[in-house]
A and B are shown apart, each in its own frame.
Chain A
Amino acid sequence: MPQPLPGFITTFVAMFRKVNTEQYPEQAAKYPPKPRFHGRHQLNRYADGLEKCIGCELCAWACPADAIYVEGAPNTEEERYSPGERYGRVYQINYLRCIFCGLCIEACPTRALTMTTEFELADDSRTNLIYEKKDLLAPLTGEMVPPPHPMVMGLTDADYYAGLVTGPDER
C-alpha cells in the first residue's frame, strides 16, 4: 500500500465509530459527574436542622490554597446554631483560590463539610465567587427546622456527634 493510504483509512474508519465526546451543556443531564467528584462544598445539618459546623477552622488550617475563612462564635441558650459550645458565625470559601483537593473534608471533625458534585461555578465577578455560609449551607429537607433553636430535648452535644438525632424536637 502506498504510504499515505493507511492513515487515510484510519481516519475514515474513525468517522463511523461511536464518539466518546460528551456534548456540554446539551448532554449534561445524560452524563452526571461521578459521586466522588470534588465539586462545590456543602455545610451539612443534623436531622433537626442544627448546623454541624462548629467553626473550629480545621478546614481553613488544612487548606493548601488558603481559600477558607472561618470565624467561630459561642452558642447561647437563646441563640443556638449548632450542638455544643461553638458554631461557625462566618464561613467563606473563595472559589477563585480553591483547588478542590478535598483536604478540608478530611480535616472536618464533625463531617460538617462535604463536597457536592456541582461543578458549574463559573462567574463574571470575583465577589460572587466568594461563597458565604448562606450559599454553602445544605438546604433544609424533610422536617428540619431552621436554626437558631435548642437541641432536641434530652440529647447532649455528644449524642449529636454520635448520630443519635433523628429529627426535630416534637415541641
Chain B
Amino acid sequence: MSSGDLPATINSGKNEFLRHIVLGAAALAMIYPLLWMFLSSFKPDELIFSDPTSLPTSFGLDNYYKGWTALRESFTTFYLNSFIVSVLAVIGNLLACSLTAFAFARLEFWGRKFWFAMMMGTLMLPYHVTLVPQYVLFLKFGWVNSFLPLIVPKFLAVDAFFIFLMVQFFRGIPREIDEAAIMDGCGPWRIYWKIMLPLSTPVLATAAIFSFIWTYDDFLGPLIYLNDIKTYTVPLALRAFVDSSGGESLYGALFAMSALSLVPVFIVFLAFQRLIIRGVALGALKR
C-alpha cells in the first residue's frame, strides 16, 4: 500500500505531500467512529438512524440527562464506584510494586535471583489460570459484592508488569547516590522513600497512568465480583444499559453515556500524552 512512497529519494516536496494525504485520510478514518458517537450523542434518537451523517442542530444535553438516570441507580453512583476502585488501585500498585522493585533492584538478600525469576514467570501466566480459585477464595472471604477483590490484589503487587518496569528504571539510577546516602547513615527505607521515589517520578507516573486506565476500563473483574447494581462500575453500568435498552429507543442516551465514559481516559491521554507514548515505546523495547 505505502510501498509507492517508500523513500528512494528522501523528502522531495511531492512525497511529503503524498504522505500527508495518506496520513490525513488514515487519521480521519481512525477518528471518525469516535467523532460520530460524540456528535450522535447530541441528536434525537430518530435522527441518529435516519440521518446518521448530519451534524447535530444543537448541543442540548437531553440525551445526557436521560442516560444519567436511565438505570435504577444514577451514573453518579457508578462514577463514584469507578473512581474509588481506580484511585485505590493506583495507590496500591504504586506502593506495592515500587517496594518490590526496590528490593529487586537495590537490596541483597538470599534467593533474590530465584524470586526475581518467579516474578518474571508470573508475567507470562494468563489470568484465566487463577480466575476460578481466586473467585472461590474471595467468595470464602465474603468479599463478593465489595470492591476488595478489585483492590486488595493491587496492594499485594500482583501486576508484575509494573514491578518489571520499575526495576528497569531503578537500575538506571546511579548507585553512587545511594552509596553516599548509606555513608550518611541512611537505611534502606529512607533510601527508598527519600531518594529512589523522588528520582523516579517518570516511571511512577507511567505506572499510575496505565494502572488508572486499565482499572477504570476493566470489565471482567467487576463482572465477576459485583452483582449488586449499587456497586457497579461504569463499564458494568454501560453493559446493563445495553441489555435494558435492547431496541433502539434509547440509543441517543446510550451514546451519551458511552461517550462520557471515555472522557476520563481521554483527559488523561491529553494531559500525559508524551509520557504515555514513551511508556508504550519503552515498555516494549526494554523488554
A, B in one complex:
no
**A residues engaging B (CB < 8 A)?**
none
